[in-house]
Amino acid sequence: IEKFEKEAAEMGKGSFKYAWVLDKLKAERERGITIDISLWKFETAKYYVTIIDAPGHRDFIKNMITGTSQ
């Protein structure tokens, strides 16, 4: 997270540090929006967890629908 915090601050987007964990595309980071769906799966002692970062911007709804239907 510290790496993302530093990179975000350098681009003037310090509050985006957590979003950058899943936003890997340069365009996503520059524009501050999610373009493509990302998944992060892990498990704890009690749960299987899946974090989904899906586009909400109207231009990228098709990507969200395609990704979530898989």
What string of pLDDT tens digits covers the 70 residues of the chain?
A: 788 888 888 888 888 787 777 777 788 878 877 777 788 899 999 999 988 887 766 666 676 677 666 6
Rounded alpha-carbon distances, angstroms, from residue 64 to 11, 20, 27: 26, 18, 16
The domain limits of the chain are 2-68
- Residue 38: phi and psi, rounded to 5, are -130, 145
pTM recorded for the entire structure: 0.54
